[in-house]
Amino acid sequence: MGFPKVVFRIVENRACPLYEYSDNFKLTGIAIPINNEAENTFITTTIINFPLGKRVCKILNGDLTKIIVQYERGDKIPVCMISCSGCTGSIKLEHTKDDDLVLANGEERYSNELGSMMHLLSEFAFFKNIDDKHLENVIQFFKLSKYDKGEIVIRKGDPGGYFHIIVSGNVNVLNDAGIKISTLGKGDVFGEMSLICNDNVSATIQVTEPTAILYIDQHNFKKILDHYPGIQLYFSRLMAERLNKSNKIRAEDLASGMIGNLSEIPAEALFQTLNMNSKTGILTISQLTKGTARFSFRQGSLIKAKYADYIGDSAFYQILKEQSGWFRFTPGIPPEDFEVPEIGFFMKLLMEGMRRLDEGRGKKLN
């Protein structure tokens, strides 16, 4: 019996580590005659073409081979769910004759692709706030984009326009200097604050490996937000978690040395943080309007200060005027600096510096 050329296409992917949605597997059975006394005796040899550039799964290879054997026995070719015994992933395949294989148009293919993700997306924290009967309808508001390693999804300072959910892969969250702040992975979200607060994007998102991301525009995002109160609670918890994580990272940074920009943490807040935490070390601030500044702290007290031609408290007062510049705090000071007297009582210095700053702003307004 001849075996038709058949193509199986993945229509549902549940965490399969080797293959992706819409990958094709072409099966061909070739009948080879056996040279013996019996006439019309054949054996069937199976040829399976796996997706180009992807590994051959031995388990899937065996399951597809069984399909040809079943067909030879007179069974119909099934639409089947193949669960890989070698891992926790599984895929669902549907078949079509090779001659009839036609790629769906953009809208149909896109709809099918989202449909195949329903099981995966329903496990994401964001979608758990939507009841099952409305989940499919909500998902249809989203679109799917795929990115290669190194691509930028959004850039800090850009107008906010979309809310994003990572379906697969990983991204890095970067600051102005391109330094990694954190990493986001499957199920994590970003871009929501620019939509909620009508503000510009607060960080750059760069892809670290091939990544699939769902996104939705601001109009539809707010419609969903208004319709499902559970999502509002989700974002409240998310912001609280991020704030707690940010504070923890800042505390760790202070313990081991920290870096940042005065545009993110003003000079007065930076100095006050070092003072309140009784830090000992050297604070260097570069890319200022007058060059580089250097400040030494001992148990939170300011003992040395130099900025351009300014020294001591004058340097401290001048640095408060700066609104941007990269800083780095390095723990530890030379032994001889332990005997250097402090420049002045810190809170008195800070209050005087803020008074001068307010006076300077008042003169500008006049």
For 38-79, the pLDDT digits (tens) are: 555 555 566 777 877 778 888 887 777 777 666 656 555 555
Position 100 confidence tier, pLDDT thresholds 50, 70, 90: very low
Residue in 137, 154, 134, 254 with CA at minimum distance from that of residue 202: 154
Q: How many CB atoms lie within 10 A of CB 298?
A: 19
Domain boundaries, given as residue ranges, for the chain: 6-102, 114-248, 258-365
For 119-152, the pLDDT digits (tens) are: 667 778 888 888 777 787 788 788 888 899 989 9
Matching CATH number, 114-248, of 1.20.1250.20, 3.40.50.720, 3.30.420.40, 2.60.120.10? 2.60.120.10
- Mean pLDDT in residue range 277-299: 93
What does pLDDT average to over the chain? 78
Q: Is 252 helix (H, G, I), strand (E, B) or coil?
A: helix
Residue in 73, 66, 72 with CA at minimum distance from that of residue 48: 66
What pTM was computed for the model?
0.43
pLDDT exceeds 80 at position 356: yes
Q: Which residue has the higher pLDDT, 281 or 83?
A: 281
> How confident is the model at residue 248, as a pLDDT?
64
Cβ atoms of 270 and 262 within 8 Å: the answer is yes
Residue in 105, 77, 89, 71 with CA at minimum distance from that of residue 8: 77
Position 37 confidence tier, pLDDT thresholds 50, 70, 90: low
